[in-house]
Amino acid sequence: LPVIITTNSLIREISDASYSVLLAANDPPQVFQYGGALARVTAGGGRASIQLLDPPMLRHRLERVANYMSVRTTDTGQYARAASAPEKVVADILAYPEYPGLPDLRGVVTAPIVAPGGQVRIEPGYDAATGLYYHVGGPLEVGDTAPTPERVAWAVGLILGDLLGDFPFKDGASRANAFALVNLPFARALIDAPTPLHIATAPTPGTGKTLVARVATLPFNPDGPAVMTAGQDEDEWRKRITALLSGGTSHLLIDNVKSALVSGSLAAVLSAPHWTDRILGKNQTITLPNRAIWMVTGNNLAVDTEMARRSVWIHLDSNAERPWTRSGFKHAPLQEWALEHRGDLVTAALILIRHWFNIGCPPGRQTIGGFEAYARIMGGILDAAGIDGFMDNAAELYEQSDPEAALWAAFVGEWWSQFQDKPVGVKELFPLADSEPSDDVNGLGLLDAMLTGHSARARKNRLGRILAEKKDTVVERFKIQDMGTRKRASTYSLLSLGKVEGE
């Protein structure tokens, strides 16, 4: 090994010499830069993950690529003896602002993937073209991925009929969304953008929400998804997100959410190609690539509108009081079957993606704001395979996430019917919104659920506040406009943005 003398040298000189040796010994790559920090790939416990190098880890590597020696001078002359990599040198290297020459790591994969050019990457180890490290955790025999019509039909049948066939999907859209979830990790390198949250929900426990999330993961990752629970507050959400992303896992499952799924941190990471946060226990930030496939399960899971527009919905409904007692499944236990036939399932996914490339990569018909690349590519793959319904339940999920939307639609419709585009204030609109606007008048009560307060005066004040909050909002093709004040009272009008049915 190269010898590095630690005596009578400046720290920067020892650091630079150590870094040069680290680079020279990094073929094939064992040390990477990940999120601006040094990292390595490890498979402790069988699950491949990324570890950010701390001082002991970096010292471990340095002392295996170089011999550190100190030189002593005595009356009889000079002699060298073995030494450790100095702590200050280790700290100095970790403090480098950048690491030229070290490969950029974007994530760890546990199965072959399709690269942006359409090539199937099957070689284990690091791939510089994609920035991904392929960890082979066990035997995996991939078959012929030539996308002939017969092989495409076989691939669709295997995934849709065998892997997903026993799940009681509520509709074709949920089935198609689950089909896309199985194929997504194999096509993830094609999507240089975030991917949405996959919500698996059902009205009754035991319907198969967690199972569908797990078996959708197993073809790509035989260890299954990394599992986390919902955070109790935003700080906890942020710490959990950072910890799991730093490991580079392919699938993240937020399992069995009991209450409404509302988190600004989760909404933010779903929309971000990179996630920046402070490293736990350090006054240092890290920017991590967000390549994870996000999933969540819960019974009749409620989400807010911010989460709904970042999600695709997989809805299960067995129409049974005790769905966990069902029997007669095609493959039971399903997880064991999926692992036994993992090579076939991987082959099937690769065939379908190659088939999409072979016909010219036509884009999917659906779209979702902020996830256009996901919708274009996954929708295209499903369309090419003849799978209908992809994301067709998106509007239903969004409507369920905003129960006030229907109230506002009815209110604005009556507002237009009575006043057209005339400027009006709370005085004119209150009888539409409240069921008891005065002692001798019965109102329509269209916004009763939103008007808190025991007195008419309190409810009027509440209506004034929510009208101000709705300024410039479009409801049912009408825009609520602020028209200034009249006798010190705010007034509003509706601007029609298009012809309304019945006009």
What is the distance between the alpha carbons of residues 80 and 76, in angstroms, rounded to a whole number?
13
Predicted pLDDT at 402: 65
Per-residue pLDDT tens digits for 324-381 = 778 888 888 999 999 999 999 999 999 999 999 999 999 998 888 889 999 999 999 9
- Tell the burial category of 393 from Cβ atoms under 10 Å away from its Cβ (0-12, 13-18, 19+): buried
With tokens 């996630």, the residue in question is 275
Phi, psi (deg, nearest 5) at residue 274: -135, 150
Per-residue pLDDT tens digits for 56-69 = 999 999 999 999 99
E strand residue ranges, 8-145: 32-34, 37-42, 49-52, 67-74, 77-82, 107-109, 113-114, 120-121, 125-127, 132-134
What is the distance between the alpha carbons of residues 158 and 348, in angstroms, rounded to a whole number?
7
In the sheet with 107-109, reading across from the earlier edge strand, the strands are: 107-109, 132-134, 125-127
- Per-residue HEC secondary structure of 282-309 comes to CCCEEEEECCCEEEEEEECCCECHHHHC
Confidence of residue 281 (pLDDT cuts 50, 70, 90): low
DSSP 294-349: EEEEEET--B-HHHHTTEEEEEB----SSGGG----SSSSHHHHHHHTHHHHHHHH
pTM over 0.75: yes
Answer yes or no: is pLDDT of 316 > 70: yes
Instruction: Note whether 50 and 41 are within 8 A (CB).
Output: yes
Confidence of residue 139 (pLDDT cuts 50, 70, 90): confident
Instruction: Note whether 312 and 391 are within 8 A (CB).
Output: yes
- Close Cβ partners of 244 (under 8 Å, ≥ 6 residues apart): 226, 228, 252, 292
Mean pLDDT of the chain: 90
Phi, psi (deg, nearest 5) at residue 485: -110, 150
Using DSSP's 3-state secondary structure scheme, residue 74 falls into strand
What's the token pair of residue 362?
């036509």
What is the distance between the alpha carbons of residues 262 and 231, in angstroms, rounded to a whole number?
10
Per-residue pLDDT tens digits for 436-460 = 877 666 788 888 888 877 788 888 8
Per-residue pLDDT tens digits for 478-493 = 999 999 998 888 999 9
Residue 470: DSSP 8-state: T
Predicted pLDDT at 401: 64
Using DSSP's 3-state secondary structure scheme, residue 120 falls into strand
More confident residue, 424 or 305: 424
In the chain, % of residues over pLDDT 90: 61
Ramachandran area for residue 315 (φ above 0: left; ψ -120 to 50: alpha; else beta): beta
Predicted pLDDT at 499: 55
CA triple 443-446-449, angle to 5 deg: 110
Instruction: Note whether 126 and 103 are within 8 A (CB).
Output: yes
* Lowest-confidence pick of 131-135, 177-181, 242-246: 242-246
- Tell the burial category of 439 from Cβ atoms under 10 Å away from its Cβ (0-12, 13-18, 19+): exposed
Instruction: Note whether 209 and 423 are within 8 A (CB).
Output: no
Confidence of residue 502 (pLDDT cuts 50, 70, 90): very low
CA atoms within 13 A on the CB side of 322: 3
In 3D, which of 63, 47, 378 has the Cα closest to residue 195?
Answer: 378
Answer yes or no: is pLDDT of 500 > 60: no
* Lowest-confidence pick of 201-215, 217-231, 398-412, 481-495: 398-412
In 3D, which of 102, 50, 51 has the Cα closest to residue 250?
Answer: 50
Answer yes or no: is pLDDT of 17 > 50: yes
Residue type present at position 322: R
User: What is the sign, positive or negative, of the torsion defined by CA atoms of 351, 354, 356, 359?
Assistant: negative
What is the distance between the alpha carbons of residues 172 and 464, in angstroms, rounded to a whole number?
43
CA triple 67-68-70, angle to 5 deg: 135
Instruction: Note whether 93 and 19 are within 8 A (CB).
Output: yes
Neighbours of 5 (CB within 10 A): 16
- Tell the burial category of 198 from Cβ atoms under 10 Å away from its Cβ (0-12, 13-18, 19+): buried
With tokens 């190609």, the residue in question is 273
CA atoms within 13 A on the CB side of 242: 19
Average the pLDDT over 258-275 and give the result.
88
Instruction: Note whether 267 and 305 are within 8 A (CB).
Output: no
CA triple 313-210-327, angle to 5 deg: 105
Question: With DSSP H G I counted as helix, E B as strand and the rest as coil, what are the percentages for the chain, rounded to 5?
Answer: 40, 20, 40
Confidence of residue 172 (pLDDT cuts 50, 70, 90): very high
